[in-house]
A and B are shown apart, each in its own frame.
Chain A
């Protein structure tokens, strides 16, 4: 009995070791839901536009394919129409997008525009958007505070800005908003000995103040804000002969009232980017392109400019 028992255990443990060969296996792509390469369109129109522009690329299968997804599709027919008039956007190899002038087809509030894209291989997509109203900025609050950063035993002081844009939501309708802050920083590089200016460059950067809708806050005062560091001083630079001086010059704040497609697309794009959480469900990307991906959206922008204190 005892021997039998030991034999059983021996056989079992051997079979266990044999079974551990591989618990990871590559899955044949045919097991995945069927999909093929589709057109991707990005086109955002507003009454403030100085150029009407559309980008056309295509998707690549994720599994088992190689290739650059940034490669433009250059031979597409891209048409933009307001229901009465249709214009064709022409591809510019230098700029990397299809374009036309707004004077050919003015972008007007309340009007619905349709984009159609077709390629010689027979793929065709379309999408529509309606241009929203302009929105007035009620107030922009810009606060600054100093933050101390502790680097390599040195304390470095930076100035942090908080930009907040406030507006009155229109009651009784669903509204979608996005806000942007743009800031210009002057980079001045001088030589310490002679104090001679070597260069003075203006660099503009953007901060996304994100998107918001009025689903739970209809008719109320809404706001979007974000805190950012326009420039970062790094410890140890003062030991060099050349010193760079960064000075915040201007802050611009833009408030967009957008259509639902613009809003959903940008919101999902940002959330997929911010989703670094291994526990979280993946963020699906919004699209309003029939038969493809990307977005055809409209917005109406209001900008204000401030000189930095």
Chain B
């Protein structure tokens, strides 16, 4: 394999020298934040009023090759940072590291400058959203918990599932179709507390980027989106801390240099960020007090925590090493004690990831990164009941243990290659060893002895090799053409699938571009979910000989316009996406595969799923302002999503639960004074498509087995029909024909910050659902006694969050 890579390198090197005979020189280096030395991702590096330009990669490295010039000017610009212009005498290759001062470090005049440093009409990428972490911290949040994924839900083309949920639905795709990567490691279940919070702690993150379509070839493995997050490296200058005390949790981040007294320059730094909820601690005395006189005493607890940690070592300009990890866990438990029995139940789930990365600069034009990645998601239900029969004085034990999970080991090598002024290449190879544990149930019962229902672990290998080139074809046309070849190996099946990708931008005016893209994606891991609300019970399963990989093809086209004077960007996009081989539970099936403890049939999860297809199309509108005294965005989405499964809705097309015709989000952040910021968010969305029972009737069956068969069978050897006995059944109409009431909500927030001698503190007050809209969470049938004293069925709407104010105290030093 290494030989092959070398061959490709040599070929590319030859290509770069032969095609461009003109004398060119390369300027390269790292872009960092002034002071902290934090490497900056996505900094624009360009020659003003020319088509020469590039941007820094995930490790802050840039390289630009230009024709020889006596006075070549390069501009380095990045949202929220000072803009730097440098002029070089370009008669040799130059290596220069750049430091940009962040807006916080600058005076107010510069901060309020309306310059939009990132011009959407310049980049070839479309369907891409990045939200500055600074903005995320200013937007009001539910219970004061800043949540990266919930901010992404406020973008057009991105939807939430149910009230308060952090699951993400991108352009008609499910939450499983998002590739969520944190420092190169895939995070499988990104939710805490049954989906109400996401696992990402904004304090530890440097950048968040969401791609909805026109995927570059370097990404693969999911159908609908890529959410790429990078953790901070840690301040190299001095020790810094940041933290907050909120209503349900507290968090603390520490970062700083690691160096000995002898060292002149800092080679290494670290960051550690932790968060834990304390509802359980607060509630425990109350629960205890309420049960003081009860015979049966129940103790319950719930908490989650997460811990991000990262360390880096700088061997010099050429080599750098990073080690980062994420550990998070949710734990829910109850313990009930009564004179006759003692039972304890537990529900735990959590992710762990670890990434070791080595950057190597082969030359000014070639940057390489090796990543070794570990990721694991585990879910466990346990239940132990010890009971004592007081009459016979016998003990019996019941013990249930259910586990599911996925574990990955991956290796990845990526290159950034800048061969010529108009080309920027990326290529690489990746291999992931997945081990799936779809479900393992062990049931021990002293009455029926031991029952095991274990599904064997499934080992698979998923690989990909890719190359992509960002090519400035003409002064107006820029494109990113790429190809990814994905490979998947499981016992009994093997797949090799080419995935062509193409994105192009054509500049119509200096501030207006037309963009179009096409992407074919394959997804080899599937998520089986009943509720779509990010429950930990959602089950990751692999592609097998019986279940083919999911596949999607998406085309998107649109316009991107910059209003430079006002600092606004506007994008309008239309998309059409076709999805094949989607999998879903059959009607009536769920994650608990325990059918019948006495059946000796081996249960395969494949028996519980059905294969289908989906279509999604729509239009998205986004007007965004990232900097300035007043910033924020307005987003609108008009979309349709349809599904067709042979075994759902009798094969007829239907709208999946999260089909949403209209979706609006308005986000505004206003810095009234340097130390007071107000913010507001308003969202509106069409209600979910649900299935509710409409009428009832008696369902008669032929040879009904429910009421005995005396009527049906004579004492001859041929029993005869009919037997008209039945039972009440419910009629639902066609699937998901009931629309929940529309969802809308206003959140408000205000932050007061004050610089103290040693630290800066911020008080934050926020109100979730300010006008107390009773949004539907679910609908349920109930009965009531009507005026005529008859019991009748009624349908009730359940809401969960009324207006919820919260406040938190945050500090920084």
Residues of A within 8 A of B (CB): 5, 8-9, 12-13, 15-16, 19-20, 23-27, 29, 31-33, 35, 37-38, 40, 42, 44, 46, 48-51, 53, 55, 57-66, 69-70, 96-97, 149-150, 152-153, 180, 182, 202-208, 227, 252, 254, 262, 264-266, 268-269, 271-275, 277, 279-286, 293-294, 297, 299, 301, 303, 305
Contacts and interface: CB of A to CB of B under 8 A. Distances in A.
Given A182-B713, A285-B699, A25 B774 contact: yes
20 contacts: A25-B774, A26-B784, A27-B797, A44-B722, A55-B722, A58-B697, A59-B695, A59-B731, A62-B781, A62-B793, A63-B781, A69-B698, A180-B703, A203-B710, A204-B709, A279-B537, A279-B590, A281-B530, A281-B587, A294-B699
B707 to A, nearest CB: 9
Nearest to A64: B792
Contacts of B799: 23-25
A232 B763 CA distance: 69
A101 B529 CA distance: 51
Contacts of A203: 708, 710
Given A63-B694, A206-B705, 5 more contacts: A26-B794, A66-B786, A69-B728, A205-B705, A277-B592
Contact of A57 (B698, B705, B712, B797): B698
Nearest to A160: B598
A273 B727 CA distance: 9
A206 B588 contact: no
B698 A40 contact: yes
B733 interface: yes
A206 B711 CA distance: 11
Nearest to A46: B721
A14 B748 CA distance: 17
A275 B588 contact: yes
Contacts of B491: none
B447 A150 contact: yes
B390 to A, nearest CB: 12
B362 interface: no
Contact of A16 (B741, B765, B802): B802
Contacts of B795: 26-27, 29, 32, 63
Given A152-B392, A206-B703, A23 B728 contact: no
A269 B588 contact: no
Contacts of A64: 786, 792-794
A227 B779 CA distance: 38
B705 A55 contact: no
Interface stretch (B124-132, B473-481, B624-632, B803-811): B803-811
Contacts of B803: 15-16, 19
Contacts of B346: none
A39 to B, nearest CB: 9
Nearest to A271: B588
B649 interface: yes
B695 A37 contact: yes
A23 B800 contact: yes
Interface in B649-702: 649-650, 691-702
A19 B712 CA distance: 59
B732 A284 contact: yes
B394 A61 contact: no
Contact of B805 (A12, A35, A205): A12
A297 B702 contact: yes
Main secondary structure of the interface of B (DSSP, over half): loop
A234 to B, nearest CB: 15
A9 B735 contact: no
Nearest to A96: B724
Interface of B: 389, 391-392, 394, 447, 530-531, 535, 537, 585, 587-592, 598-599, 648-650, 691-705, 708-710, 712-713, 715, 717-722, 724, 726-735, 737-738, 741, 763, 765, 767, 772, 774, 779, 781, 784, 786, 790-800, 802-805, 807
B802 A182 contact: no
A35 B724 CA distance: 26
Contacts of A149: 447
A174 B79 CA distance: 63
Contact of B697 (A13, A57, A266, A274): A57
Contacts of B732: 282, 284-285
A193 B670 CA distance: 96
Given A62-B793, A66-B791, A282 B726 contact: no
Contact of A19 (B648, B696, B802): B802
A13 B807 CA distance: 11
B593 to A, nearest CB: 11
Nearest to B598: A227
Contacts of B598: 227
B726 A42 contact: yes
A285 B729 contact: yes
B528 to A, nearest CB: 11
Of B535, B721, B791, B802, chain A has the most CB atoms within 10 Å of the CB of B721
A208 to B, nearest CB: 4
A254 B585 contact: no
Nearest to A302: B718
Among A12, A252, A280, the one with the most B-chain Cβ atoms within 10 Å of its Cβ is A280
Contacts of A202: 715
B720 A48 contact: yes
B404 to A, nearest CB: 14
Contact of B701 (A12, A40, A266, A293): A266
Nearest to B693: A62
Nearest to A305: B717
B703 A62 contact: no
Contacts of B692: 32
B677 to A, nearest CB: 16
A66 B103 CA distance: 68
Instruction: Give the top 10 A-B pairs by smallest Cβ distance, nearest first.
Output: A12-B805, A42-B700, A19-B802, A153-B392, A44-B702, A275-B588, A206-B709, A206-B705, A59-B695, A279-B530
Given A13-B805, A20-B802, A252-B717, A62 B730 contact: yes
A62 B694 contact: yes
A204 B447 CA distance: 30
Given A19-B802, A63-B793, A64-B793, A277 B588 contact: yes
Most chain-A Cβ atoms within 10 A of its Cβ — which of B694, B772, B792?
B694
A26 B705 contact: no
Nearest to B584: A281
A72 B247 CA distance: 60
Contacts of A252: 713, 717, 719
Nearest to B763: A5
A252 B703 CA distance: 13
A303 B718 contact: yes
Contacts of B591: 279
A225 B596 CA distance: 13
Nearest to B733: A33
A12 to B, nearest CB: 4
B646 to A, nearest CB: 9
A294 B807 CA distance: 57
A305 to B, nearest CB: 4
B774 A280 contact: no
A303 B705 contact: no
Contacts of A297: 702
Contact of B391 (A60, A97, A152): A152
B587 A9 contact: no
Contact of A153 (B389, B531, B715, B729): B389
Nearest to B714: A50
Contact of B796 (A16, A19, A27, A46): A27
Contact of B599 (A53, A227, A273): A227
A55 B700 contact: yes
B804 A16 contact: yes
Contact of B720 (A49, A264, A268): A49
B703 A32 contact: no
Contacts of B798: 23-24
A63 B795 CA distance: 7
A271 B712 contact: no
Contact of A303 (B717, B722, B774, B791): B717
Given A281-B691, A299-B702, A182 B719 contact: yes
